[in-house]
Structure 1
Amino acid sequence: MQPSTTLEPSRTPPLTLELLRLAAPLLLTNLSGVLIGATDTLFMGRISTAAVAAVGLGSVMFWTLFLLPRGTVNAVIPFVAQAFGAGDQSKTRSLARVL
């Protein structure tokens, strides 16, 4: 008789708990970003409405400049992984240059 390679159902964590465990750092990161933005707005609100407007405009400009290159990187990563997995070093290098 072959030994079983699968775990008993009672020993495997439910999928929901496993996903929550994996997502917790991302959730905390996103929540902290929102809290930092709210704190900035609250502090600037005590100064003037112009300060609140400046923080809002600066935030929009920052996120636009931050997310445009990030989108390019996120789009290229699967292609780099595919070329690397296929063992195509020249294609991997040329795609990785985009990053």
Structure 2
Amino acid sequence: MTDITATELKERQSQHTAPVIIDVRETWENEESRIEGSRNIPLGELPGKLDDLKDLRNAEVVVHCKGGGRSASAKAFLQQQGFTHVRNLIGGIQGYQAG
């Protein structure tokens, strides 16, 4: 599945059709700034949280971090685990806040 732009995500949020959003930054980063409705699961903790996420295997999931690097790793990991609709937020939260 293709990645998502900040503009598309904001439009989806305003239409109340936003996908599940997972912030893979560290907890302290999430506490400084966050996308409303997102769930914080730091990248290093993601493997241990797979059981909690099993209901999302076929749901649209957007992963994000600060700029896109960690979330690209998270996307690849989740796809390897059988998640079928994972998208990376292009530009991360920096792009989201700038747009």
Larger radius of gyration: 1
Could you say which structure has the greater relative contact order, defined with CA pairs below 8 angstroms and 6 or more residues apart? 2
TM class, shorter-chain normalised? under 0.3
Which structure's residues are more often helix, by fraction?
A: 1
TM-score normalised by structure 2 residue count: 0.22
